[in-house]
């Protein structure tokens, strides 16, 4: 069976720039947390970040911190601390990782970016488009810090999105303004909001282009790369730095295409990943698929940070539509059509569903979707049981066997 082969993962050169940008982002927030020179708003990952930036807030995204805790596998030591405080092992493991991190005062942000710790919020702003857990997550910190908790409640399971839905969401966005004015000490500035939204829109178009480059055969980028490189689209959208970064990344990926360089040498199969990454196994999965000549080219997860309606004239309309036209908020029928389109766009040979125990909203295999899509498209699939952060819920052997068996099946059918 020989020695372990060298890494099959190809490094993206722009990664260095991204780490620099992310470092600067965290250090700026840390500076504000230490000195109080600027106000910090906590925001859910698909929350009204543009509105917050328009008030001059530095915006911190605890879901990003959750992913950091998962990737570093520190989550394993932190989740039990939250469980012991009454936060069930069955609820979002981003939440339990992050709350555990706060309780134990441990975070990789200290070592990686020299931060003092988790930055204290001046205001907590959620959007339940991801799940209800985000509200309860932020409520923990509201109790700890006695700071305002405000947010937007988005309806779920939506088929068509109606004028009534949008008007309700616009009203909810506008209702945030008085609290944000009070906390920031600034008056709402519509022109400034338009500038931020326009920047966020430009970032979205660039991020979309990054992901669409994966439609090229062979793909210049994998899902595993994208989960890392989406960082600026999540935490820096609405800033010039994010736009500048994606211009650099796109240039590198386009050069790969021009030079015939594939993200996975000898790309044989192209997979779609549906659901959350298993953060603590991201590198292992990337290695395993690459060594099999399989490129996970596309995912719902990474495409969920494309907010094209931000391009409309009214920034409130743009935010309301962007943050509720998302896959995660939509009906099964919508999701099915979306996935079928993605199969075609990216030339998908096989589908991987990740049934994440603590993230039902991002586990789209629980209402017969795999069987329906398989019947309609003939694309074979596997479903792995696991979790985004809690590796106690993940079975390495069973997942590996299923991944390998999918590759075997495709080769046998070739």
Pick the closer one to other proteins by CB: 174 or 411: 411
Minimum Å distance from CB 398 to other proteins? 6
Helices (H), 271-329: 282-291, 300-303, 315-322
Please choose, out of 133-141, 258-266, 273-281, 405-413, the segment that lies near other proteins by the rule CB under 8 A: 405-413
Number of residues that bind other proteins (CB under 8 A): 17
Q: In this complex, which beta carbon is closest to other proteins, that of residue 21 or of residue 384?
A: 384
CA distance 173 to 202: 21
Q: Are the CB atoms for 161 and 320 separated by under 8 Å?
A: no
Q: Is 291 in the site for other proteins (CB under 8 A)?
A: no
First to last CA, the chain: 26
As a three-state string, the secondary structure of 223-285 is: HHHHHHHCHHHHHCCCCHHHHHHHHHHHHHHHHHHHHCCCCCCCCCEEEEEECCCCHHHHHHH
> Is 397 near other proteins (CB under 8 A)?
yes
377 binds other proteins (CB under 8 A): no
Closer residue to other proteins (CB): 155 or 374: 374
Is 380 among the residues that bind other proteins (CB under 8 A)? yes
Cα dihedral 399→402→404→408 (10° resolution): 180
Contact status: 394 vs other proteins (CB under 8 A): yes
Q: Which stretch binds other proteins (CB under 8 A): 25-33, 44-52, 159-167, 404-412?
A: 404-412
Counting contacts by CB under 8 A, is residue 284 touching other proteins? no
Q: Least distance in Å: CB of 385 to other proteins?
A: 5
For other proteins, the closer of residues 102 and 394 by Cβ is: 394
Residue 3 touches other proteins, criterion: CB under 8 A:
no
Q: Is 72 in the site for other proteins (CB under 8 A)?
A: no
Q: How many CB atoms lie within 10 A of CB 407?
A: 21
Question: Could you give the strand order of the β-sheet that contains 123-127, starting from the edge strand earlier in sequence?
Answer: 58-60, 40-43, 123-127, 149-152
The bridge status of strand 269-274 relative to strand 149-152 is: unpaired
Write down the least CB distance from residue 339 to other proteins, Å: 18
Q: With beta carbons less than 8 A apart as the criterion, state whether 382 and 353 touch.
A: yes
Residues 323-362, mask of contacts with other proteins (x by CB under 8 A): ----------------------------------------
Which distant-in-sequence residues (6+ apart) come within 8 Å of 36 by Cβ?
none
- Residue whose CB is less far from other proteins, 331 or 398: 398
Stretch that binds other proteins, among 8-16, 198-206, 290-298, 389-397 (CB under 8 A): 389-397
How far is the C-alpha of 406 from the C-alpha of 75, rounded, in Å? 30
φ, ψ of residue 43 in degrees (nearest 5): -140, 140
Using the minimum distance from each CB to other proteins, give the nearer residue, 323 or 343.
Answer: 343
Scanning 13-21, 251-259, 279-287, 394-402 for contacts with other proteins by CB under 8 A, the matching segment is: 394-402
- Residue ranges that bind other proteins, judged by CB under 8 A: 1, 374, 380, 385, 393-395, 397-398, 401-402, 404-405, 408-409, 412-413
């Amino acid at each position: 069976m020989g020695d372990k082969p060298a890494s099959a993962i190809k490094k993206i050169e722009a990664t260095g720039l991204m780490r620099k940008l992310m470092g600067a982002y965290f250090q700026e927030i840390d500076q504000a947390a230490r000195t109080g020179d600027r106000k910090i708003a906590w925001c859910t990952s698909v929350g009204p970040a543009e509105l917050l930036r328009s008030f001059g807030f530095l915006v911190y995204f605890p879901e990003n911190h959750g992913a950091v805790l998962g990737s570093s596998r520190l989550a394993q030591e932190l989740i039990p601390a939250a469980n012991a405080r009454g936060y069930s092992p069955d609820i979002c493991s981003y939440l339990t990782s992050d709350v555990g991190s706060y309780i134990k005062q441990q975070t990789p942000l200290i070592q990686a970016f020299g931060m003092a710790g988790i930055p204290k919020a001046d205001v907590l702003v959620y959007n339940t488009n991801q799940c209800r857990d985000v509200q309860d997550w932020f409520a923990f910190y509201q109790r700890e810090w006695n700071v305002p908790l405000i947010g937007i409640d988005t309806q779920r399971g939506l088929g068509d999105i109606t004028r009534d839905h949008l008007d309700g969401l616009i009203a909810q966005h506008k209702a945030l303004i008085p609290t944000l004015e009070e906390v920031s000490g600034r008056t709402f500035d519509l022109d400034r909001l338009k500038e931020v939204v326009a920047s966020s829109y430009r970032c979205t178009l660039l991020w979309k282009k990054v992901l669409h480059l994966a439609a090229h055969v062979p793909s210049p980028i994998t899902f595993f790369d994208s989960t890392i490189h989406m960082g600026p689209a999540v935490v820096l959208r609405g800033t010039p730095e994010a736009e500048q970064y994606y211009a650099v990344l796109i240039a590198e990926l386009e050069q790969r295409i021009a030079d015939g360089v594939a993200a996975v040498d000898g790309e044989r199969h192209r997979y779609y990943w549906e659901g959350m990454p298993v953060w603590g196994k991201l590198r292992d999965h990337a290695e395993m698929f690459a060594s099999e000549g399989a490129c996970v080219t596309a995912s719902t997860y990474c495409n969920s940070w494309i907010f094209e309606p931000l391009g409309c004239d009214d920034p409130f309309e743009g935010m309301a539509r962007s943050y509720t036209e998302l896959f995660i908020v939509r009906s099964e029928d919508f999701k099915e059509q979306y996935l079928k389109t993605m199969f075609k766009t990216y030339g998908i040979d096989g589908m991987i569903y990740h049934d994440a125990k603590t993230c039902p909203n991002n586990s789209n295999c629980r209402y017969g979707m795999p069987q329906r899509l398989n019947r309609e498209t003939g694309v074979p699939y596997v479903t792995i049981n696991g979790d985004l952060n809690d590796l106690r819920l993940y079975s390495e052997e069973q997942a590996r066997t299923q991944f390998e068996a999918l590759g075997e099946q495709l080769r046998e059918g070739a």
